[in-house]
Structure formats: structure tokens, C-alpha cells
Amino acid sequence: MGYRVVVAGATGNVGREMLNILAERQFPVDEIVALASRRSLGTEVSFGDKTLKTKDLDGFDFTGWDIALFAIGSDATKKYAPIAAKSGCVVIDNSSLYRYDADVPLVVPEVNPEAVDGYNKKNIIANPNCSTAQMVVALKPLHDRARIKRVVVSTYQSVSGSGKEAIDELWNQTKGMYVPGQEVEPKVYPKQIAFNVIPHIDVFLDDGSTKEEWKMVAETKKIIDKSIKLTATCVRVPVFVGHSEAINIEFEEFLDEDEARDILREAPGIMVVDKREDGGYITPIECVGDFATFISRIRQDSTIENGLNIWCVSDNLRKGAALNAVQIAETLGNRCLKKG
């Protein structure tokens, strides 16, 4: 006996990827429905070798459905998630709305699978920010060995993290650079993204950081350990898919780079590609479509007593969003719902 599954926001980048991954990982689905806004009603989306026609999210009856994967943004989630949850359907939400709610688990299954046990306080589980998800997969096994004191991370985030319009903006701006008269002014981003980098993701806060940077701090503390100090600089780069991060870690005790490499090789969800030669590392273009979080450039930081540097790359539409949501569903099923 499998699950009755809802995918809300099924026509967006993340929603389509959720459907792909549910099929790829052979999630035990008895029945599945794809929901979208009224303007996308009837749009066809793929689920394995099947084609689904989207139904209207507004007014959908969640009664009798087991799990709903939400990829509809915070505003719509605020309206529909409580309706689904009250109907007995467990919501796995990809927006930021519930991530910092003490009664809502924030889960990365390789890191804190036990957190899903608290799902029934609100019948909602939160999916973390894309940049946080891949980072904590790398940090947790190292933290278990040597306890992390402080993290300094700089991100190189692809435009797909901003949605389809951002992908189109990069594509059209790039073409426009070579075709006189077809130049494209920035709309999604405050500055040109083609052939440029923008150190600004989400809104600015009073202390000068951006909300994306704040999210990485708050979510790492909630998922791994509230005592970890973290500072982030989040940068948008002209890459279509795949987030990269340069992570500097300070530990409470010494951790040798060779031992760290061995720990990461054995850790769930991680693929280590770390050769000290030309091309002996992973770049975003190589991680697209893969489930793994890739780690390269593992090396000692000699400027501090117990320091390590790593390079972390992952497909943000997968591990940063859709894959993590499906893994949460799998964990919820195995630990709590016990179907399939």
C-alpha cells in the first residue's frame, strides 16, 4: 500500500523536478495529483512515463491525501498549507515560511532525520534554503568528529535559484551582448547578470547582511548546532544550474585534511572528487542532474589553529530543493507513516 501524493506548484522548476525525482527514486505512490495556479490549469507535466494534467490548487480537497510537496512560494503556502495540514495531509514545504517556526521541523535527512518525528505538531515539515542544504550535508560529519566553532562561507549561486524568469534573463542578456539592438535590461536582478556577479540575494537587513545570508546562519544553527558561529556572503553568478560554496571551517580540535577527506567519503549524500591536478575538482556544470553533494579542494587552513577549507557543489534544484523534499517524504514514511 503506497501513498497518495500531492505536488503543488507542479509547473515550476522545482515542482517539475519533484515529480521527476519521485519517479526516479520509485517513491511508493498509489495516486498522485499535480496542482497549479488557475492560470496554469490543464498544463501537462511528466511523472515518469505518465503525463499529468494540472488541477486547480484553489479549492482542492486535501482530505485523504498523505503527503503534499509544496513549491508555491511563501504567500501561497501561508494560505494553503494550513488547509492541507488540517485535512490530515502532511505538508513538506519548500518556501521559507515555516523554517524558523519552533513547532515545524527543518530537515536535511542526511543530517537530522530524527527531526521529522516532530511533524505532527503542525503537520508541516520545512525544507531548508538551497544554499544551506548542501552546506550542512558537508558540515555535519565533520562536526560530529571535531565540533565546529565557526564557519565562513562564500556562495556562488546559480540563477535557477530565482526561478524561470531569471534563467531567461541570463540567456537573453547573454545573447544581447552579441547582437546589437537586442540588449536586455535587468528586471529580475538589480544589475546585469550576464558576464557579471552580484553580491546581493534577497533583501538587505539592518546590519548590512542580506536575508539569504541570515537564512544560512539561522538554518545551520537549527539543523546542526545552535552554538556554531557562521558568517556568509551570498553571490549570484551567471550559471544556469548548480550552487557552489567556498567554506572555511574552524574546529574546537585539530582535524587533519586526510582524515576529513576519509570522513566525507563515508558520509551519506556526499561524493568526494579531490585530486590536486588540473580538473581534479567538481564545477557546477558537472553536478547538474546528480543527487550528490560534491566536495573538492579539501585542505588545511594554516592561518588558524584548527582550520579547514572545502569546496562544495550541488544541483540546487535537486539537493537544494526537490530532492531534499522527496528525501524528507521518504524519511517521514520510513520513520512515522509506515506505508509503502
CB 176 within 8 A of CB 192: no
> Is 248 known to sit in a ligand binding site?
no
Q: Residues with Cβ < 8 Å from 148, sequence gap 6 or more?
A: 139, 142, 224, 225, 228, 249, 250, 251, 252
Residue among 130, 234, 287, 312 flagged as catalytic: 130
The grid coordinates listed for 154 are 562564500
> Is 13 known to sit in a ligand binding site?
yes
> Is 40 known to sit in a ligand binding site?
yes
> Is 236 known to sit in a ligand binding site?
yes
Q: What are phi and psi of 52, to 5 degrees?
A: -110, 140
Residue among 143, 243, 287, 312 flagged as catalytic: 243
> Is 293 known to sit in a ligand binding site?
no
> Is 12 known to sit in a ligand binding site?
yes
Q: Read out DSSP for 238-267? A: S-SS-EEEEEEEEESS---HHHHHHHHHHS
Reply yes or no on whether 243 is catalytic: yes
C-alpha–C-alpha distance, residues 133 and 155, integer Å: 12
> Is 173 known to sit in a ligand binding site?
no
Q: Read out DSSP for 161-205? A: GG-HHHHHHHHHHHHHTTSTT-----SSSSS--TT--BS--SPBP
> Is 157 known to sit in a ligand binding site?
yes
CB 100 within 8 A of CB 74: no
CB 261 within 8 A of CB 299: no
CB 284 within 8 A of CB 239: yes
CA angle, 18 then 23 then 28, to 5°: 105
> Is 160 known to sit in a ligand binding site?
yes
Q: Which of 125, 53, 36 is nearest to 89 (CA)?
A: 125
Q: What separation, in Å, do the N-terminal and C-terminal C-alpha atoms of the chain show?
A: 5
Residues forming the annotated binding site for phosphate?
99
**Annotated binding site for substrate: which residue ranges?**
157, 236
Binding-site residues, please? 11-14, 39-40, 99, 157, 160-161, 236, 316
Binding-site members for NADP(+) are: 11-14, 39-40, 160-161, 316
Q: What is the set of active-site residues? A: 130, 243
